[in-house]
């Protein structure tokens, strides 16, 4: 390496991103490459052609996850993994997921260019059906790989036309039916566009992702009694809005006590019958809760539950609160985070620690392997949008961080 700090080839990476974006390209400049479609498979074929040109092997597991492998000097050691997904939303962008795959391949090509062998083998994963739009389970492939979702329940998912994941995998030539065996992995990194506005606003090039928020949604129901808004004295009403009047300030206080990391959103408030001169007989409220630290997240949930129960008791009204959706978050591995931090520092890049607001395959991977993520800015924080955009220079800087971190984890040149 002549003592020179290694770098990726940013132009090669950009041209590959643009070549991949042509597959399933939409008129508005985005991509429609939904999971297990012909376009998804065309994208994978393009990736495989680059992988073979880089002297790598390519294999697909029984749930459709694809792995590009570059051998290590001690090839039986656990792999150092990176990757993301190639599938998109119906009106998706050019970078969500795709960048993490192309950057992983760029690391491999750069190691080839630099004639660097690593002690551990390196694998680039393409997780199947991350988006969960055609088949309704986001992060499906990584969930099966990590053992969080049984293979058969992934196979049974169907799209709106009634086609199952299993049928589509069979149609595309994947050998299904055998169990998914997870290869030993030393550590895993995923690089992704932020999909939010924080890095851009803080003028940072690199986000050192320390975790993904825990998130859940809760439905509050309060039963009252419909009554005429004129003749019924205030103290003779059973008005569910009295509970709402107590809950709103109490909810915001609970979130404020855990600032700045807690997120509490009262996203839906419904009264019925919803008539201007009737005391509502029923109130329905949806509250969305998020926090990156599991202990604080649980404490916030418990406090919200308690506030509802106390207010119902005080007001003498019947009601309930129940969790209607939950997505577990994760705190990433301290050593993997440190490796990313060191790589950004060695490259003298502007970096900050950040928590992901969106779910990623790395949440599943982190359940079984030491894992961390790297973010780069995207224009206006826009994602899941055909106008999704990122600067070539930021994407190059991110891939350089990934290269340095992967070299460190895989024992390059040691
Ligand atoms: Zn993604």
How far apart, in Å, are the Cα atoms of 336 and each of 34, 159, 190, 206, 406? 31, 37, 11, 15, 10
Give distance in angstroms: CA of 131 to centre of ligand 1. Answer: 7
Question: Could you give the percent of the chain with pLDDT greater than 70?
Answer: 99
Mean pLDDT over residues 49-59, rounded? Answer: 98
pLDDT for 1: 47
pLDDT tens-digit series, residues 64-117: 999 999 999 999 999 999 999 999 999 999 999 999 999 999 999 999 999 999
Which of these, 203, 197, 190, lies nearest to 379 by C-alpha position?
197
Which of these, 119, 117, 139, lies nearest to 129 by C-alpha position?
139
Evaluated on CA atoms 43, 44, 47, 52, the torsion sign reads negative
Mean pLDDT over residues 36-65, rounded? Answer: 98
Mean pLDDT over residues 349-370, rounded? Answer: 95
Place of tokens 């129940």: 322
Give distance in angstroms: CA of 195 to centre of ligand 1. Answer: 9
The Cα 33–Cα 35 span in angstroms is: 7
How far apart, in Å, are the Cα atoms of 309 and each of 112, 284, 319? 62, 15, 8
Q: Is residue 3 predicted with pLDDT exceeding 70? A: no
Give distance in angstroms: CA of 122 to centre of ligand 1. Answer: 21
Higher pLDDT, 267 or 172: 172
pLDDT tens-digit series, residues 203-217: 999 999 999 999 999
Both structure tokens of 180: 């998914």
The Cα 215–Cα 297 span in angstroms is: 8
- Burial per residue of 92-119, b for 16 or more beta-carbon CB atoms within 10 angstroms, e otherwise: bbbbbbbbbbbbbbbbbbbbeebeebbb
Q: Is residue 4 predicted with pLDDT exceeding 90? A: no
Q: What is the mean pLDDT of the chain?
A: 96
Q: Where does the pLDDT of residue 328 fall: very low under 50, low under 70, confident under 90, or very high at 90 and above?
A: confident
Give distance in angstroms: CA of 260 to centre of ligand 1. Answer: 25
Which of these, 373, 297, 367, lies nearest to 341 by C-alpha position?
373
Lowest-confidence range among 122-126, 209-213, 381-385?
381-385
Determine if the peptide bond prior to 175 is cis (ω within 30°): no
**Which residues are within 5 Å of ligand 1 (an ion), measured at CB?**
96-97
The Cα 400–Cα 344 span in angstroms is: 8
Mean pLDDT over residues 49-70, rounded? Answer: 98
Give distance in angstroms: CA of 238 to centre of ligand 1. Answer: 47
pLDDT for 414: 42
Report the Cα–Cα distance between both ends of the chain, in Å, rounded: 12
Give distance in angstroms: CA of 149 to centre of ligand 1. Answer: 19
Give distance in angstroms: CA of 264 to centre of ligand 1. Answer: 24
Both structure tokens of 165: 């994941």
Give distance in angstroms: CA of 162 to centre of ligand 1. Answer: 25
The Cα 59–Cα 336 span in angstroms is: 26
Determine if the peptide bond prior to 260 is cis (ω within 30°): yes
pLDDT for 214: 94
pLDDT for 177: 85
**pTM score of the predicted model:** 0.86
DSSP calls for 319-376? EEEEEEEEE--EE--HHHHHHHHHHHHHTT--EEEEEESS--HHHHHTTTS-EEEEEE
Q: Is residue 246 predicted with pLDDT exceeding 50? A: yes
Q: Where does the pLDDT of residue 183 fall: very low under 50, low under 70, confident under 90, or very high at 90 and above?
A: very high
The residue count of the chain comes to 414
Q: Where does the pLDDT of residue 127 fall: very low under 50, low under 70, confident under 90, or very high at 90 and above?
A: very high
pLDDT for 358: 87
pLDDT for 413: 64
Q: Is residue 377 predicted with pLDDT exceeding 90? A: yes
- Tell me the three state secondary structure of residue 291: strand
Give distance in angstroms: CA of 360 to centre of ligand 1. Answer: 6
Q: Is residue 2 predicted with pLDDT exceeding 50? A: no
Q: Is residue 125 predicted with pLDDT exceeding 70? A: yes
Give distance in angstroms: CA of 324 to centre of ligand 1. Answer: 24
pLDDT for 142: 97
pLDDT tens-digit series, residues 144-179: 999 999 999 999 999 999 999 999 999 999 999 899
Q: What secondary structure letter does DSSP report for 13?
A: H
The Cα 400–Cα 339 span in angstroms is: 13
Pairing assessment for the beta strands 278-279 and 227-228 based on DSSP bridges:
antiparallel
pLDDT tens-digit series, residues 286-309: 999 999 889 999 999 999 999 999
């Amino acid at each position: 390496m002549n003592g020179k700090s290694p770098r990726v080839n940013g132009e090669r990476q950009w041209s590959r991103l643009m070549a991949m974006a042509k597959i399933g390209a939409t008129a508005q400049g985005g991509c429609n490459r939904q999971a297990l479609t012909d376009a998804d498979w065309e994208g994978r074929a393009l990736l495989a052609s680059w992988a073979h040109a880089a002297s790598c092997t390519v294999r697909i597991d029984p749930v459709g996850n694809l792995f590009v492998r570059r051998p290590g000097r001690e090839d039986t050691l656990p792999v150092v993994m990176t990757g993301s997904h190639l599938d998109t939303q119906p009106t998706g962008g050019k970078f969500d997921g795709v960048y993490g795959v192309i950057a992983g391949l760029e690391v491999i090509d750069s190691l080839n260019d630099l004639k660097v062998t690593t002690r551990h083998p390196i694998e680039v994963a393409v997780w199947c059906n991350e988006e969960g739009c055609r088949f309704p389970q986001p992060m499906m492939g990584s969930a099966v790989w990590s053992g969080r979702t049984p293979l058969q329940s992934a196979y049974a998912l169907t799209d709106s036309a009634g086609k199952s994941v299993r049928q589509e995998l069979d149609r595309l030539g994947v050998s299904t039916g055998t169990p998914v065996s997870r290869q030993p992995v030393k550590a895993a990194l995923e690089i992704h566009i932020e999909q939010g506005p924080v890095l851009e606003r803080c003028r940072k090039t690199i986000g050192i992702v320390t975790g993904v928020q825990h998130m859940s949604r809760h439905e509050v129901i309060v039963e009252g009694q419909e009554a005429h808004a004129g003749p019924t004295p205030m103290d003779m009403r059973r008005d569910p809005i009295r509970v709402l009047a107590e809950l709103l300030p109490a909810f915001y206080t609970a979130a404020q006590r855990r600032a700045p990391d807690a997120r509490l959103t009262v996203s839906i408030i419904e009264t019925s019958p919803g008539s201007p001169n009737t005391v509502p007989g029923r109130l329905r409220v949806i509250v969305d809760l998020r926090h990156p630290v599991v202990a604080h997240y649980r404490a916030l949930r418990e406090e919200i539950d308690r506030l509802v129960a106390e207010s119902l008791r005080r007001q003498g009204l019947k009601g309930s609160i129940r969790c209607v959706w939950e997505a577990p978050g994760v705190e990433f591995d301290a050593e993997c985070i440190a490796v990313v931090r060191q790589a950004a520092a060695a490259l003298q890049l502007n970096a900050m620690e950040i928590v992901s607001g969106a779910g990623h395959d790395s949440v599943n991977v982190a359940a079984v392997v030491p894992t961390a993520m790297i973010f780069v800015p995207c224009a206006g924080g826009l994602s899941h949008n055909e106008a999704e955009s990122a600067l070539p220079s930021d994407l190059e800087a991110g891939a350089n961080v990934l290269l340095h971190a992967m070299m460190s984890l895989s024992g390059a040149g040691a």
